[in-house]
Amino acid sequence: MGKRILLATMCAAVTLATSCRENHDATVGADAGVTDAGGASDAGGVDAGAMDGGDGAIIDAGPACDAGTTMFTVPITDPALLDRIVPLGSVSGNEIKPHTFLQWSDGGSRAIYAPIAAALTSIAYYNEGGLNQYLLEFQVNCAVRFRLDHVSDPIAAIRAVGPQDAGLTTAGASPTAPFYVDAGDLIATTTVWSFDHGVYNTAKVNVFGNNARYEWSGGTNYLNSDCPYDYYEAATKAAFYVKFGMFGMAAGGCGSCRSASQDVAGSLAGAWFLAPDGGTFGDRIAVTADCDKSVLIAGLGDQTIGAADAGDPATVTTEACYADSTRFAYLKVLSPSSIGIVFDAGVCPAGFPDAGYTIWYR
């Protein structure tokens, strides 16, 4: 199932002081070209280009993986310059996201640094909303990887080993030559007002209502999503944590990093899919509560219902109707793995109908 990549010795996984490119002849400065495109890295003898993952390929660490405790030593960016960090499990589009969003509003750029020594494994260069931007993925050791998305200006050395023309999708490609960063190296500056930051650790397995649905290539971003800021020592972690807030909220509106899984067994809450089985492709909806307990139901007819004064879906084990000023969504638990939904204009009806509803599955 995907590529088996044994990276047990990659980047001296349990020794943070050891650089991912120690004994590697390449010296890559903030704007330097790639000076060593060949030779063996000391990533356990694995070519960085083989460590795919940005396009969703499973990085199967195998039983030999023992990464020990991974700790980041340099902030990914200066938290003092952020308006907020939207935590894990937030809703964007029709999806509960497995990464965080770092946001600001002053129109300026933000520097992004390597939090730890790592190997660049995937680059996507694409146009979205009229803006050319990058998605970058880095492997830290056999268990841990991190990714950055909606980045406008990676350093020249990274651009040199990636696609030269912007595409229309975020499908990633391996770098054309091995590329490494040390903790504190500048990765990019970005002028987009928000960028995504996710960390994925094979030692961390999130619990969903149906984990089998996520056991495919791209699903590992959900299964193995972890809080990036828990990888810092206490003071730096706290500086990031005080910035947690949902979209449109002030910093401090959320007290925790939350989880990529918002599924609660036997309740309405979480991710639901129109197909009864398979991966996370196709129609899906998100039913969840924000940190302020306002309820979001996203993905019904490409629309989102926001209900400020409603019961938390995580506590509803029977049925509930949620409405905004023009529409309603009536939800009912049908089984541990399915719910029925009626979505229409107007106000909530007196009860859930006997027919005419759509079934959604874990």
**Within a domain: 250:** no
Mean pLDDT of the chain: 85
Residues 354, 280, single domain; the answer is: yes
Question: Which of residues 219 and 289 earns the better pLDDT score?
Answer: 289
Average pLDDT over residues 278-294: 92
- The kind and range of the H/E element at 222 are helix 220-223
pLDDT average, residue stretch 210-223: 90
pLDDT at 316 over 70: yes
Question: Alpha-carbon distance 265 to 325, whole Å?
Answer: 30
Residues 298 and 345 in one domain: yes
Residues written for the chain: 362
**Predicted confidence (pLDDT) at residue 33 exceeds the cutoff of 50:** no
Mean pLDDT in residue range 139-148: 98
Which residues have C-beta within 8 Å of that of residue 13, sequence separation ≥ 6?
7, 66, 67, 68, 70, 140, 141, 142, 143
Residue 223 included in any domain: yes
Q: Are both 288 and 227 inside the same structural domain?
A: no
360 versus 23: the higher-pLDDT residue is: 360
Residues 53 and 143 in one domain: yes
pLDDT at 279 over 60: yes
Work out the average pLDDT over 140-148. Answer: 98
pLDDT at 218: 74
Average pLDDT (236-255) is 95
Q: Which amino acid is at 202?
A: T
Q: What is the largest CA-CA distance in the chain?
A: 72
More confident residue, 60 or 92: 92
Q: Which pLDDT does position 46 carry in this prediction?
A: 29
pLDDT at position 63, please?
A: 52
pLDDT at 266 over 90: yes
User: Which residue, of 196, 226, 241, is where some domain finishes?
Assistant: 241
Same domain, 226 and 300: no
The answer to which of 72-81, 105-114, 281-290, 305-314 has the lowest mean pLDDT is 305-314
Q: What is the pLDDT of residues 157-216, one digit of tens each?
A: 999 999 999 999 999 999 999 999 999 999 999 998 999 999 999 999 999 999 999 998
Does the residue 261 lie in any domain?
A: no
Higher pLDDT among residues 41 and 107, named by residue = 107
The pLDDT, as a whole number, for residue 32 is 34
Strand 59-60 to 3-4 pairing: parallel
Q: Which of 241, 257, 291 is the last residue of a domain?
A: 241
Residues 49 and 190 in one domain: yes
On whether residue 255 sits in a domain, the answer given is: no
C-alpha triplet 231, 257, 224: angle, nearest 5°:
65
Q: What are the CA-CA distances from residue 210 to residues 73, 147, 172, 274, 333 (Å)?
A: 35, 25, 27, 14, 15
The CATH number that applies at residue 171 is 2.70.70.10
Summarize pLDDT for 332-361 with one digit per residue, the tens: 999 999 999 999 999 999 999 999 999 999
The whole domain housing 179 covers 3-241
Confidence of residue 311 (pLDDT cuts 50, 70, 90): confident
> Distance between CA atoms of 331 and 319, rounded to whole angstroms?
6
Q: Total structural domains in the chain? A: 2
Residue 318 and residue 320: Cα distance in Å, rounded?
A: 7
Cα 277–Cα 144–Cα 67 angle in degrees, nearest 5: 120
* 324 and 236 assigned to the same domain: no
In a domain, 263, yes or no: no
d(CA 36, CA 28): 9
pLDDT: which is higher, 269 or 52? 269
**Mean pLDDT, to the nearest integer, of 139-160?**
98
- Which two three-digit tokens encode residue 145? 């990887």
Residues 107 and 44 in one domain: yes
pLDDT at 20: 47
The band of 302, judged by pLDDT with boundaries at 50, 70 and 90, is: confident
| Same structural domain, 235 and 305 | no
| Whether residues 82 and 128 fall in one domain | yes
Does the residue 9 lie in any domain?
A: yes
- Answer whether residue 292 is part of any domain: yes
Mean pLDDT along residues 311-332: 95
Residues 87 and 166 in one domain: yes
Query: Can you give the pLDDT at residue 329?
Result: 96
| Residue 66 pLDDT | 85
Asked whether residue 246 is assigned to any structural domain, the reply reads no
Both 306 and 201 in one domain: the answer is no
